[in-house]
């Protein structure tokens, strides 16, 4: 009976995490579509389409790391509070541990973010987006593994500690799955934009300055 009760509680926690995550990421995506993050600004006339796409990624990354930092801090506080009691002590400890790791990753990412300038090439923006996309694809697979391990621990665990650890791992895996799928979906869209974007090169002009030339083509006549 106690095992069944804990399993039902785990299911409720999982559904709550998924629904909350969906609302948070939908709101963040709507804000991202209306404006760039103020911390990433770029002043340049006739800004190339590929650079706008690159700034979209940087803007979303920063917003995502702020969300992850908030999630991590909330888990540390909530998990720490639960760990002071007896009934959900193990769930609280595991939750606080995951929260500390997530907050640490987010903090380091915010301190060392990428930056683009007017001279950033199309190839650099494309390469960065492809790397970002691959990392997210790997993370999505790992998140599925976390959820599977957590479910197994919760359902088959023969002690309350193992089952509570499993519930915490499932909850973290569910949040990170929604988090990375949000980023992966956006990244796939940006890759399609970059694939459709005309190639751009820096061409030196007769007066010694340079400008961006779009869709450069070469034709030979005889």
What is the C-alpha separation between 66 and 110, in angstroms, rounded?
A: 8
Q: What is the pLDDT of residue 178?
A: 96
Burial of 4 (0-12, 13-18, 19+ CB in 10 A): exposed
Per-residue pLDDT tens digits for 144-186:
999 999 999 999 999 999 999 999 999 999 999 999 999 999 9
Entry pTM: 0.73
Q: What is the pLDDT of residue 20?
A: 52
198 — pLDDT class (breaks 50, 70, 90): low
Q: How distant is the alpha carbon of residue 172 from its chain centre? A: 14
Nearest one of 89, 72, 53 to 186, comparing CA atoms: 53
Q: What is the pLDDT of residue 46?
A: 58
Residue 135: pLDDT over 80: yes
What is the C-alpha separation between 64 and 58, in angstroms, rounded?
A: 10
| H helical segments located in 84-159 | 89-111, 122-156
Q: How distant is the alpha carbon of residue 121 from its chain centre? A: 24
Q: What is the pLDDT of residue 191?
A: 96
Coil, strand or helix at 88 = coil
Percent of the chain with pLDDT over 90: 59
């Amino acid at each position: 009976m106690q095992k069944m009760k804990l399993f039902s509680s785990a299911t409720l926690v999982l559904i709550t995490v998924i629904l909350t995550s969906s609302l948070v990421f939908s709101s963040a995506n709507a804000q991202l579509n209306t404006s760039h993050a103020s911390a990433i600004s770029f002043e340049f006339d006739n800004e190339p389409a590929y650079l706008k796409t690159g700034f979209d990624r940087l803007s979303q990354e920063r917003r995502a790391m702020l969300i992850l930092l908030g999630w991590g801090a909330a888990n540390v506080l909530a998990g720490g509070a639960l760990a002071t009691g007896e009934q959900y002590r193990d769930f609280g400890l595991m939750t606080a541990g995951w929260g500390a790791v997530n907050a640490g990753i987010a903090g380091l990412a915010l301190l060392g973010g990428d930056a683009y300038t007017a001279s950033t090439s199309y190839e650099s923006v494309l390469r960065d987006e492809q790397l970002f996309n691959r990392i997210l694809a790997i993370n999505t697979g790992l998140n599925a593994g976390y959820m599977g391990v957590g479910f197994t621990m919760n359902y088959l665990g023969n002690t309350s500690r193992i089952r509570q650890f499993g519930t915490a791992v499932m909850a973290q895996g569910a949040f990170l799955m929604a988090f990375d799928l949000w980023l992966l979906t956006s990244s796939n869209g940006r890759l399609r934009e970059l694939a459709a974007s005309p190639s751009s090169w820096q061409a030196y002009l007769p007066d010694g300055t340079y400008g961006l030339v779009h869709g450069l083509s070469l034709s030979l006549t005889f």
